[in-house]
Amino acid sequence: MNTRFISLASPCWLKGLALALVLSAAPSKAALIRVTTWNLQPGAVADTNGWSNEFQKSLVQEAAESLKKLRPDVIMLQQVADWETCQQLAQALQPEIYQVAICSSFRDPRTNLLSRQVAILAKAKAYLAWSEPWQNSSAAPAAPGGFAFAAIRLGNQNIGFFSVQFSDGASSGTDESRSAEWQQARAESARQLIKQIDSLQDWKDNRLQTYIVAGDFNTTPDDVGLADEKTLSLLEQCGFDNAFAGLPLKKRATLPGDARRPAATLDYIFTRDAGRVGSALITQSALCERGAVTCEMDLAAPKAAPAPPPLAASKAFPTSLLLGASKAPLTPPALAGSNAPPTPPPLAKVVLNRTFDGRVYESHPSWEVPSTHRMDVAELTPARNMAADSNLNAAEKVAPWTTIYPPRDPQARPGLIDLTAYYNALLTESWQGNSKSDLASLPTGLQKFEGVEYDVRGIVQAGGKERAVERFPARIEGIKIQQKCARLNFLHSAGFGAVTDEGQQVGSYIVHFTTNRMPLVIPIIYGHDVRNWRRLAGEPPSTDLDLAWRGPNAASANSHNFIRLFTTTWVNIVPGAEIESIDFVSSMGKVAPFLIAITAE
């Protein structure tokens, strides 16, 4: 255990401020987007080796060939093996460029990583993403699965995508899958999903205009044994439209019939405020049990009027037309052919930055690119950029960016310190400037590392000399603790470190007590508390470092490496005194420490 005791020192107060105006190519205004959802569960032909590595490679290649023809802007996957499989699929889709916005890391009761996850890939970068397992009450079984969420700006709209996996706990079409308790479990999972969607309505920044829920619902109104299930109707009651509306079963059967069971619709695309939505097209696969479902949406066109017959017996779904440039309905072959949305122009390779002294300089858009997905250009006002340090009146002040980060779990106890107000980077963005280098594979929410529970939802990055982190503050002040504790646990790491930095102090945590003005300093030592979050060759062994988590991202996978976080425990020798706050301070050298979570015990 890497444990720290109190040291005393006077803090060095540093402050800096910088403003950059980003000039880059304008985003695409295309209103036409295409979405594909696909359950990659191997079919009966793969019963004996469906989860072997070799079969997974074959499955990825076949899926890629089909997806290349469909050319979706967003791919929503279910029963995908893991993040690495998503990366392999993204590579197989080249020359089209897709990014893995999110891949879940659901675990079984023994905390083993499940082999079937949900994920979202997209051509555009997500500005926010997370995943969440189903959390059923004691009245229903704990349904496996969950959802992956990504907020992506396409055209001129912010769209919330939910890739969902509703489990039936048994093979589809069996008596167990029709049982009342599993119907109740799926309905309760749907209520959890709807509650999450409702919470997103409160966003002030980066507000979502459109919602798309797609994936494996594992229920169908075609089965009389499921006629009373509420899973689908709950979404309808919340204003969601079904892309399969009005289609006969033979045109919407995602699970082909065989000697064991009849054909059924188990996979769906539901939309809300998505403009005019085309009827879904199903693409079958030799290796997958389910077919891929694809539909196109014209965000600029008004929604078509409802038309019978309804898919479900008690509800009417609006039928929509698929619109191309001529505003005429397209046939399914056109969907998979040449009427794809135009490819957005590439981002500018150079941006111009302006400092407060009037100096204008050029730079590569290493950090500006992810920033452009966070807010509209119209919001780049002096009041917006300087609200934290200016004496603006109430009418001039604007809300902080807290709503772009995943919401805090209501079950989080006070000891899991809420860092929402201090986050300055997303786990899903390449915040240090290196392409495809993020922490998106890090499990989020309430997570245990090295036996300590943390609230994991964002990054608090401190500044440094490297250009990629110059924009971050040297000091993050006033992180509220407001409680007594015997120890503090820090989940953290650092960027831009080298083997030669061993033993150097790269930052500190300065502890402020409620009843004592003397600050206490917890130094952050390279090689003792943190190292570079990307493993480096030639690192000496260390008995002090506590590795809390390791995982992949696209950049590390390409170099057969991994990324990592560390944990440090600081023992408080005055546990009877309440800690008011903590300052997170960088030494402003080449190494730039960053903080993920703090837990007080």
The pLDDT tens digits of the residues spanning 406-458 come to: 999 999 999 999 999 999 999 998 999 887 899 999 999 999 999 999 999 99
Q: pLDDT tens digits, residue range 337-383?
A: 333 444 433 444 445 555 444 555 444 444 443 344 444 444 444 44
What pLDDT is stored for residue 64 in this prediction?
A: 94
Q: Where are the alpha helices (DSSP H) in 145-301?
A: 180-200, 231-237
Per-residue confidence band for 517, with pLDDT thresholds at 50, 70 and 90: low
pLDDT at 170: 43
Name which of 108, 107, 102, 98 is nearest 74 in CA terms.
98
Max avg pLDDT among 23-32, 203-212, 465-474, 485-494: 485-494
pLDDT over 90 (residue 246): no
Q: In the predicted model, is pLDDT for residue 461 greater than 90?
A: yes
By percentage, how much of the chain surpasses pLDDT 70? 73
Q: Write the DSSP assignment of 199-221 as a string of letters.
A: HHTT--SS---EEEEEEE----T
Backbone angles phi, psi at 61, to 5 degrees: -65, -40
Q: What is the pLDDT of residues 109-161, one digit of tens each?
A: 777 778 789 999 999 988 888 888 888 664 444 456 899 999 999 888 899 99
pLDDT at residue number 560 = 79
Domains annotated on the chain, with CATH: 3-16+389-600 (no CATH), 32-335 (3.60.10.10)
365 vs 601, more confident: 601
Handedness of CA 358, 361, 363, 369 (dihedral sign): positive
State yes or no: pLDDT of 6 exceeds 70.
no
Task: Write b or e for each residue in 371-400: b if 16 or more Cβ atoms lie within 10 A of its Cβ, otherwise e.
Answer: bbbbeeeeeeeeebbeeeeeeeeeeeeeee
- For residue 3, the model assigns a pLDDT of 54
Buried b (16+ CB within 10 A) or exposed e, 505-543: bbbbbbbbbeeeeebbbbbbbbbbbbbbbbeeeeeeeee
* pLDDT tens by residue, 274-318: 999 988 899 988 888 899 999 999 998 888 765 444 433 333 333
pLDDT band, residue 177 (cuts 50/70/90): low
For 555, which DSSP code? H
Mean pLDDT, rounded, for 524-549: 92
Q: Is 187 helix (H, G, I), strand (E, B) or coil?
A: helix
Q: Are 592 and 496 in contact (CB under 8 A)?
A: yes
- Tokens representing 319 are 């039928």
Q: Are 408 and 422 in contact (CB under 8 A)?
A: no
State the average pLDDT over residues 54-74: 90
Q: Quick one: pLDDT at residue 45?
A: 52
- At residue 207, the pLDDT reads 85
Inform me whether the pLDDT recorded for 172 exceeds 90. Answer: no
* Spatial distance between the Cα atoms of 458 and 444, rounded to a whole number of angstroms: 9
